[in-house]
Chains A and B, each alone.
Chain A
Amino acid sequence: MRKFWVVLFHTYTSKLRTKQFIIPTLIAAVLLLAVTNLPAIVSLFDNDEAKKVMVLDRSGELFQPLSDQLEQSTDNIQLVKTGKTEAEAREAVQNGKITGYLLLTLNKKQLPDAVYKAEKIAEQKIPGQLKTALQQVKVAMATKQLGLNPQEIATVYAPVSFEETALEKGAKTEEELDFARGAVYVLMFMLYLTVLFYGMMIAMEVATEKSSRAMEILISSVSPVKQMLGKIFGVVLLGLTQISFLCVVGASSLGFMGGFDKITQMFGMTNISGLPVSMVIYAIVFFILGYFLYATLFAMLGSLVDRVEEANQMLMPVTMMIIIAFFIAASGLGNPSSTLITVTSFIPFFAPLTMFLRVGMIAVPWWEVAISITLLVATILFFIGVGSRVYRGGVLMYGKSTSWKNIKEAFVLSKSEKI
């Protein structure tokens, strides 16, 4: 057991000091700081002056109502009434004095028609706002022509009352579901990234050890199982360090800037403390299981390569599997009770994401979760067994072409060996 700890702490401390760990962590911290301060940053860039739009009002009566209407909705646009000709207005646009100009006329029905001209029309915000404002002016004029009073108009435009209610017992309400969808998505994405990042790290670690041939000394002093698990746990510790560091950075940034409410508003999250405890627990459980499953696979494959450069090619199928799992799960966000999601939530390679998605979003019978977790644990144990044997065989195998066939060879080589 002592040697397990030696491997664990060596993995941890030596990785902690590497560029491969420090740089991504710092990048993540910077991104996190950016995200937590997003509202401040957005307002920093958005703070520029209102865009000037010249209005060539041929009707003589549209400018005022449009100007009033626009004032209510935005202060981004400053309308300037002008008696200039279109050619002059065009010149003003080309000189950059104004952003664009609006030609207003009345059509035969005495309703407004408009043409907006600007240097580029790729920017959608200004014409969009102008259009909305003008639309309201038009509605007001049209209803006035029809002789409707404002109350009647309000009745016409009042939104229909439409509510969804789930009949199943324990099912989530619509609001809960929206919230769960957001939370599940964030957690799923984190799970996916973590497994990929740290799985690769383990594989690279093992491959480096193998290619530098340091492994042969190692397996003569520590058993492959202890070695492999020591590494996997060492990297877990590393991951925890990274996550806690980012949490501290994120939390203190939010705390200092008082940006917490702004963030939750921005992402439409009403109340983050509404995250159910069970979801957090499931997230942790599936996190750990998913990590161990893939970490074991990655460690096993890492032991089969001769050179670090070959590692990526070898890892490809497993990497693809994680990506597929993520896409399946992402597709299930809109429809968590689909057959695909249900079936894959029992397949250990996908279960960490899809079963988590199910328990996060719909009511799943406890025994289904239990079966899924049991299968997952069994698969992990199976791969620890196979992995450590392949690992031991792989260490002694050099110079063969790198392929998945090596798994069998390495397995056979260490067959009947005691682990």
Chain B
Amino acid sequence: MTLKLEHVEKRFGNFTAVDNVTLEIPERQMFGLLGSNGAGKTTTFRMILGLLQPSKGKISWQGEQINYETSNMIGYLPEERGLYPKLKVRDQLIYLGRLRGMKKPEIVEQLSYWLEKFNVPEYMDKKVNDLSKGNQQKIQFIASVIHQPKLLILDEPFSGLDPVNLEILKSAVLELKERGTSILFSSHRMEDVEELCEHLCILHKGKQVVHGSLQEVKRAFGKKNVVVHADYNLEELKDVPGVENFRKVPEGAELQVADEAVSQRIFERLSNKGFIRKFELEEPSLNDIFIEKVGEVYA
């Protein structure tokens, strides 16, 4: 049930949107695709769905190509949200569900289940136009999962949601994973990926700059963060060999170091200087890795 991308490339004229991407998304796992705008995330998804053909390389799911034969097993939430504005939620979902091979009673049952889960059972007979954007997004999420897909592709599923709805949606995604759906999603919010994914890949200008499991990625990155909270000047730590980045914060300083050994040196340097309220060695955050690899700030 794995989804495999092997040396996939997509060119539009002279522009290479996706360049030699190789990924493997194991069954029942959550895979995060990170990247700034224009990194090639949506193009990658469209190729996986068979909407675009790769210029080079191979994409397979369960050893076969994804096409309209397999589309009943796949769920897709496009980045651009869109539903029929004038149709009622029920009619809308019945149509979309039937296009995924479902029968009407089954659809209504599933729809009630999901509306209940999202605390909005009263939307069943409302027109999409009358719903707020965030709520439309919920409906569209339901549309992409109502047929209990084996593979779910979510393009920026968490953007534009308030914290409460964000949590509801995350729990829904986790529930689907428990039920055995492989999930591939894109985001530019690092914390979502860190929280949910076992595997991830960072795309930059179509190229795959980092990929692997979350731990692997962090381990391979090597660098760590050191947080020091103390009441005296910490500027001198800049000069400790192996300190790559120094940032002053109100309570003290945050440093990025080349490896764990450097943190020991820092600790030694500080030990005779005075009281330290906090000294902590942290794993690098995905954000740090992203900034390092992509070379630009992305929050």
| Chain A contact residues, CB within 8 Å of chain B | 2-3, 6-7, 10, 14, 18, 208-209, 212-223, 392, 396, 398, 413, 416-418
Contacts and interface: CB of A to CB of B under 8 A. Distances in A.
5 contacts: A208-B84, A213-B80, A213-B82, A217-B144, A221-B72
Contacts of B144: 217
B82 A6 contact: no
Contact of A221 (B52, B82, B87, B96): B96
Interface in B274-296: none
B80 A216 contact: yes
A3 B140 CA distance: 20
Nearest to B45: A220
A281 to B, nearest CB: 37
Q: Could you say which of B72, B78, B83 has the most chain A C-beta atoms within 10 Å of its C-beta?
A: B78
Contact of A6 (B49, B74, B98): B98
Contacts of A208: 84-85
Shortest beta-carbon contacts, A-B, top 4: A213-B82, A216-B78, A221-B99, A213-B80
A212 B51 contact: no
Interface in B71-118: 71-72, 74, 76, 78, 80-87, 91, 95-96, 98-101
Q: Could you say which of A208, A212, A221, A396 has the most chain B C-beta atoms within 10 Å of its C-beta?
A: A221
Contacts of A221: 68, 71-72, 96, 99-100
Interface of B: 12, 46, 49-53, 67-68, 71-72, 74, 76, 78, 80-87, 91, 95-96, 98-101, 140, 143-144
Contacts of B82: 212-217
A210 to B, nearest CB: 9
Given A10-B98, A221-B99, 11 more contacts: A2-B101, A3-B99, A6-B99, A208-B84, A215-B82, A220-B51, A221-B96, A221-B100, A222-B68, A396-B51, A398-B80
Contact of B99 (A18, A215, A218): A218
B12 A413 contact: yes
A417 B78 contact: no
Given A417-B53, A418-B53, A213 B78 contact: yes
Given A6-B99, A220-B51, A396-B46, A214 B76 contact: no
A212 B99 contact: no
A18 B86 CA distance: 10
A214 B99 contact: no
Nearest to A10: B95
Given A6-B95, A10-B95, A14-B87, A217 B78 contact: yes
A418 B67 contact: yes
Nearest to A213: B82
Contacts of B74: 220
B97 to A, nearest CB: 10
Contacts of A220: 49, 51, 71, 74, 76, 78
Contacts of B71: 220-222
Given A212-B82, A212-B85, A217 B96 contact: yes
A219 B51 CA distance: 8
A101 to B, nearest CB: 65
A10 B87 CA distance: 11
Q: Could you say which of A6, A216, A218, A413 has the most chain B C-beta atoms within 10 Å of its C-beta?
A: A216
Contacts of A212: 82-85
A246 to B, nearest CB: 26
A209 B143 CA distance: 16
Contacts of A214: 82-84
A2 B98 CA distance: 9
Nearest to B155: A216
Nearest to B75: A220
B38 to A, nearest CB: 13
B84 A209 contact: yes
